[in-house]
Structure 1
Amino acid sequence: MFRTAVRVLPPWLSHALNAQRGPVPWNAVTRGALAGGPLLVVALAAGRASLGVVAAIAAMLAGINDRPGGRRTSVRRIGVPALAGAAGLLVGTYAGQHLDALALTLLLTVLGLLAGGVSAVGPVASAAGTQLLVGSAVGAGMPLPDPGWQSVLAFLAGAGWLLLLRLALPTPGSLTGGFRFDGERAAVAGVYDAVAALLDAVGTGDAVARRAALTAALDHAQDALAGPRLRRRASTAAERRLHAQYAAALPLGEAATALAWDGRPVPARAAEGPRRLAAAVRGNTAAGPLPAPHRTDPALRALDDALLHAAVAFDLGRDQDLHTRRRSPASVARDVLGAGGREYGLRAGLCFGASAAVAQALHHGHWYGSHQHWYWLPATAVFLVKPDLGPLVSRVLCRAAGTVLGALLFAGLAAVLPRPAGLVALVALCGALVPVAARHFAAQTTVVTVLVLALVMVGGEPQASAGRIGETLLACAIVLVVGHLPLPGQRGGGVRARIGAADAAAQAYLAHVLSGSGDRATRWTLRREAYRTLAEARAAIDRAAAELPALARHSEGTDEVAAVLERLVDTTTACAVHLDDTGRLTPRHTAGLAELGDELAARRGRVAGECPGLPLAG
């Protein structure tokens, strides 16, 4: 009943009430419990409580970036943002000591512009931009008794401790299948399961959703395998085998997509092979016997050939580097300097600079009373301005509600908990809850608010729940105003950039298939990029559609362009499989491509008319 009620609410409100689902990540919960609390214990025993607070803050931020996936992928996912946060802390600390309020505000505004533009590159860059700004706000607005370089080392030690836990602690059940590659193995097995689920759905109304699920599984596996290797080449037979198993899943996914495009139901046993391969990946065993082939048409023949190829790959484990997503410096620069990067950078710079200026004005005007630190206001604005955390109004509502609830909870707990032991235990508890609370922004804000308030009190500050609530509401107002300001250039730049990239990737994939090239590795790489950029565009479009009408209208029609592009990529995949088998296309294939080309041109023109400057490929 609750979910039905959510569906009838306006998108900007229903988004704020929706939460992600999934199993509890007990391994991440364990790491969170062992992160900030022990660091505080060590610091307090050494009489360096302030350094312990900095280290625990770094561990908390690293815990927010501690996502499911490959163990070595976490080196980049946690380590790069931590380095950016340490750099921000260093800059903020020394700038706060040597610059006046105006110069400091200008510097923080420039940092906001830089971090906002870089955040458009991808999730890791976005996390790095966030920690750069949070670190600079803490360094400038939370004066610590320690030298700046010591605070930076404490920050790196806190993040490094969480990363060490991520690399060293096994996940449940991983010791039986290979400790080092448990996350990678689960991700690759998920691809084979997704192929089987798509084959089960061929000819039904669930096929489109299952194909999207296969794309998500491939994206996850591609990221999981992209971590640094121990040597330049794959370091062990187990690693080579995993890469070969991922590569073997690509033609399987291609054949399953072609069967879904054709729409005719396939024999039930077609899904048995991928499921057996999934079990073999999870158990780190040989492929074993596979179902007998059913070779009645090109797509089924391609499926059987792919199953045979996968079985060989399982046994031989020949390494193929098809998981690396190569991005040229020019494409990264386009993301930073393009419409999405410019728009995000402008808004992040304005929000961060304005909130820092207001916080300093309140601080110097003694509005804070006995509270001397003004970092909370700009640090809150950093999280509120991030578009990848959801629509603007949803972020504001969740942040406000989470801060109020967290501050009230902490006020009650601080009145009864012994100090400092009770506060240290509270930090450990909140650290354990961060991975679970990450399913909803309001829940995450509640946990983080309690954790930070406990850390501040451990560092010797008085209880400041009321001040945190006021500062958060003020940050919400600043971000709402800046978020609706008319800025130079076109609105919805992030959506336009994503749909433009998806269009270009789809055209590159189509051109390669129609060229008749026999280079299947390149084809699979282009296909992966086409589907991946489409998934990224879909996510950006969904977020934009959940904004208030004044903002949502700037991306109207882009969902229709994305839908046509998805059908074009599906059709291209079906063409590739048919060309492999017969060397020519059927009238159905050619007519489908022509129809989609005309429809895409019409959709492009309509969206470009409503959103001038929309960068779509020709």
Structure 2
Amino acid sequence: MPRTLPIGLAPPDWLVRNLRPQPAPVNRPAVARAAIALTLPLVLGLAAGRPEYGALASMGALSGVISDTAAAYRMRLLNIAIPQLFAAAGITLGSLVYGQGWITVGVLTGVALVSGMISSIGAVASVSGLLLLLNSVIGAGLPMPGQWWLAPLLLTGGGFLVLVLALLAWPLRAGVPERAAVADTYRKVADLLATMTPDTRAAAGPPGSPGSPGSPDDGKDTYEDARVLVTQSLNQSYDLVLARRARHHGRSPELVRLLAQLNAITPLVEAAPAVRLSGRPLPAEIPVAVRHLAEAVETGYSGPLGLRLPEPGSEIGRAVDQALRHAADVAAEKSPDALKKAGDRAGRPAPLGVRAVRVARNVALSGTSWRYGLRLALCVGIAQALVSLVPVPRSYWVALTITFVLKPDFGSVFSRALLRALGTVVGLVVAAGILTEVPRGWWDVPVMLLLAPLIPVFTPRGYGYQTAAITPVILLLSDTLNHQGSDLLVPRLVDSLMGCAIALVAGYLLWPESWHARVGDRLADAVADTAAYVERAFGQTPADPADRARTRRRLYRDLSTIRTEFQRALTEPPPVGRRAAAWWPLVVAVERIVDTTTAARVRIKQGAEPPSAAEVEQVALQLRELADGLRKTDTLYEVRSDLSGPPGSVLEPLRQEVAAARTITSPR
């Protein structure tokens, strides 16, 4: 029996969640790129007798390594190249105000505001804003060697070295990451269907038991976990394929085929909730057949697939059979003309100019953008004002720490401050051994060869692990620029702790929104959208199937985001973490409501009698009342509308799920 600590000595749950490493496979190509990109500039700098130039280029390469997270080549181009341009602008601006006193404080505060506001646009913009501010702080706090244009040139060159290494295989593997993503979606769907085969159902246990569907500690083979993975895989696949399509001039047969294959798996995903609610297990041949389709998608095979499917024995079985045969037809089809309609269902993104204007307008008018920008500007302004008044060695580390920690889109601010401090301590221990025992010069090359690969290895494990891996690399490069040796260690720790403290007080504790889990509002929005989906799916004027599918995908994407927000809130200390944990039953309940709505639509498609307009209106009203109740987190509300309906209706299971969810939020 495993030994357990006494209750008084056991670490709190939120701390355990923060320190637990995230499982992730090692990206071997990224490891190799990091080793080459961070070491090669040092070699060239040492060979030329200017190691400081090599250190600057390696710093730029470090930014590129951190940004190198995409699978598709076109996404790598965006993820690495665009942030490097912002990094060059930041180092130039910072260098221009170096040593200018309060002018430096004002400029960096303004840069922090802009950086925070553009971070709300998306992942690439968030990294771009991060590097803009980081390099502005470095340029304003550290004298750069050479002319004003040399530092941005070296930093950008290091980043573009990572980009070149990342794109080397593009001519040979163009389109492979997108195909692999679509094939992975098919495999995730197969895993979802496998949770409803006889053997898996027996192993899962009764609903509500540990490891069974609906419990907070679901096992990896449960329906809920498998459905979440399907949603994440669908989101990633559509993002990759549509991003590539947006930049492709003319019609690409390969992209049309990939979009058609993604759209073809949608009916099978929609049939899964109906199978689960029917209580009848699926034949084991079904998930096997879907995995066979995944192989065909990944290899680009076209032709007869020879699937051997059992004869369906129910209306839900017929829905699965029809959806699977349709997916097989599309997966094996190669003609662009035959796939044109299916490929166009996902829609083509708006032109780049239109999207740029739309994004700029949204950022300028968004309250969220302004709030985050002001929080970041306040913290950076305080940090710069403090180090201007109080002599602090290497004071730029204070603002650097704030920039890394105060990134709500990267995770909990509290958690990042905690993990930053812990990771810095671990990294400093490693750096202390290197700076005291290893002589500077050519010995830096083998040391960097050992340290650089650890960054892509540990980054997916969590922010604390990433900090521990990056800290010795940064200190080694800083020592190459400043030649301070182990004297850097204590100021680095003090500055990091100061930055964490400022971020926690001025960027976290003083903002009321930090003390409220945002799960409730997002759940309420999802329920309100579900009400609109019910009206669209069962109204007298049925919605276009493609539009209905997009609405369903958007709902599941929102629910996936809610789960992520829920997991993030659990890493907060009380009372935020405790309040977030109380939302778990409602998260599950809302997911079941969306599942049941999808299942009802599948039953109608298979011949079940559609609901009356009055019943649809009543269910939509119930859902909107539930959404209102979820927004009232401090008060309970009375059920106003009638929860009853015609017995045997196709919407009866949906009414039951709505009633169960409303029971959670209503007075007992």
Normalised TM-score (structure 2): 0.80
1:213 equivalent in structure 2: 229
Matched, 1:417 2:438: yes
1:452 equivalent in structure 2: 474
8 Å Cα contact 2:296/2:332 also seen in 1: no
2:650 equivalent in structure 1: none
8 Å Cα contact 2:83/2:128 also seen in 1: yes
Matched, 1:197 2:191: yes
Gaps of 5+ in 2: 205-212, 214-221, 637-668
Mean alpha-carbon deviation: is it higher for 9-18 or for 576-585?
Answer: 576-585
> Measured at CA, do residues 61 and 494 of structure 1 come closer, stay the same or move farther in structure 2, by a change above 3 Å?
farther
> Measured at CA, do residues 112 and 324 of structure 1 come closer, stay the same or move farther in structure 2, by a change above 3 Å?
farther
> Measured at CA, do residues 251 and 167 of structure 1 come closer, stay the same or move farther in structure 2, by a change above 3 Å?
farther
Q: Which amino acid aligns with 1:183?
A: P
8 Å Cα contact 2:121/2:359 also seen in 1: no
> Measured at CA, do residues 55 and 352 of structure 1 come closer, stay the same or move farther in structure 2, by a change above 3 Å?
same
Of 245, 256, 272, which aligns to 1:256? Answer: 272
8 Å Cα contact 2:271/2:602 also seen in 1: yes
% identical aligned pairs: 32
Matched, 1:66 2:68: yes
> Measured at CA, do residues 10 and 345 of structure 1 come closer, stay the same or move farther in structure 2, by a change above 3 Å?
farther
Matched, 1:443 2:465: yes
Shift of 1:469: 1.0
Shift of 1:122: 3.1
Determine the C-alpha separation between the residues in 1 that align with 2:429 and 2:154. 29
1:394 equivalent in structure 2: 415
2:36 equivalent in structure 1: 34
Of 369, 384, 390, which aligns to 1:356? Answer: 384
> Measured at CA, do residues 169 and 101 of structure 1 come closer, stay the same or move farther in structure 2, by a change above 3 Å?
same
Mean alpha-carbon deviation: is it higher for 432-441 or for 262-271?
Answer: 262-271
> Measured at CA, do residues 74 and 323 of structure 1 come closer, stay the same or move farther in structure 2, by a change above 3 Å?
farther
Determine the C-alpha separation between the residues in 2 that align with 1:496 and 1:6. 34
1:23 equivalent in structure 2: 25
Mean alpha-carbon deviation: is it higher for 326-335 or for 395-404?
Answer: 326-335
8 Å Cα contact 1:404/1:469 also seen in 2: yes
Determine the C-alpha separation between the residues in 2 that align with 1:414 and 1:219. 45
1:517 equivalent in structure 2: 542
1:476 equivalent in structure 2: 500
Determine the C-alpha separation between the residues in 1 that align with 2:116 and 2:389. 24
8 Å Cα contact 2:134/2:400 also seen in 1: yes
| 1:186-234 residue CA offsets vs partner (Å, 9 max, x unmatched) | 2211111111111121365321221111111112222332443573235
> Measured at CA, do residues 47 and 583 of structure 1 come closer, stay the same or move farther in structure 2, by a change above 3 Å?
farther
Shift of 1:113: 2.5
Determine the C-alpha separation between the residues in 2 that align with 1:82 and 1:341. 22
Determine the C-alpha separation between the residues in 1 that align with 2:114 and 2:635. 26
1:565 equivalent in structure 2: 590
2:658 equivalent in structure 1: none
8 Å Cα contact 2:412/2:572 also seen in 1: yes
8 Å Cα contact 1:484/1:551 also seen in 2: no
1:497-512 equivalent positions in 2, closer than 5 A? 498-499=522-523, 502-503=526-527, 505-512=529-536
Determine the C-alpha separation between the residues in 2 that align with 1:336 and 1:542. 30
Q: Which amino acid aligns with 1:75?
A: L
Determine the C-alpha separation between the residues in 1 that align with 2:89 and 2:257. 38
Determine the C-alpha separation between the residues in 2 that align with 1:348 and 1:611. 33
> Measured at CA, do residues 255 and 402 of structure 1 come closer, stay the same or move farther in structure 2, by a change above 3 Å?
same
Of 505, 510, 515, which aligns to 1:486? Answer: 510
8 Å Cα contact 1:191/1:214 also seen in 2: yes
8 Å Cα contact 2:241/2:255 also seen in 1: no
User: What root-mean-square deviation, in Å, do the aligned CA atoms of Structure 1 and Structure 2 show?
Assistant: 3.5
1:308 equivalent in structure 2: 325
Matched, 1:292 2:309: yes
Of 587, 602, 606, which aligns to 1:577? Answer: 602
> Measured at CA, do residues 560 and 187 of structure 1 come closer, stay the same or move farther in structure 2, by a change above 3 Å?
same
Determine the C-alpha separation between the residues in 1 that align with 2:283 and 2:616. 26
2:160 equivalent in structure 1: 160
| 1:463-522 residue CA offsets vs partner (Å, 9 max, x unmatched) | 212211111111111112124433477864865775465456544543432344352222
Mean alpha-carbon deviation: is it higher for 27-36 or for 252-261?
Answer: 252-261
1:461 equivalent in structure 2: 483
Shift of 1:137: 1.0
> Measured at CA, do residues 400 and 299 of structure 1 come closer, stay the same or move farther in structure 2, by a change above 3 Å?
same
1:160-199 equivalent positions in 2, closer than 5 A? 160-169=160-169, 179-199=173-193
Gaps of 5+ in 1: 613-618
Determine the C-alpha separation between the residues in 1 that align with 2:142 and 2:121. 30
Determine the C-alpha separation between the residues in 1 that align with 2:527 and 2:30. 37
Q: Which amino acid aligns with 2:408?
A: P
8 Å Cα contact 2:116/2:374 also seen in 1: yes
8 Å Cα contact 1:402/1:442 also seen in 2: yes
Q: Which amino acid aligns with 2:105?
A: T
> Measured at CA, do residues 400 and 332 of structure 1 come closer, stay the same or move farther in structure 2, by a change above 3 Å?
same
1:85 equivalent in structure 2: 87
Matched, 1:605 2:629: yes
Determine the C-alpha separation between the residues in 1 that align with 2:129 and 2:372. 11
| 1:419-465 residue CA offsets vs partner (Å, 9 max, x unmatched) | 22222332333221111111122221111111111111222431212
Shift of 1:350: 1.9
8 Å Cα contact 1:76/1:227 also seen in 2: no
> Measured at CA, do residues 67 and 256 of structure 1 come closer, stay the same or move farther in structure 2, by a change above 3 Å?
same
Mean alpha-carbon deviation: is it higher for 45-54 or for 450-459?
Answer: 45-54
> Measured at CA, do residues 601 and 428 of structure 1 come closer, stay the same or move farther in structure 2, by a change above 3 Å?
farther
Mean alpha-carbon deviation: is it higher for 143-152 or for 206-215?
Answer: 143-152
8 Å Cα contact 1:94/1:140 also seen in 2: yes
- The DSSP-based 3-state class of the residue aligned with 2:134 is helix
> Measured at CA, do residues 291 and 125 of structure 1 come closer, stay the same or move farther in structure 2, by a change above 3 Å?
farther
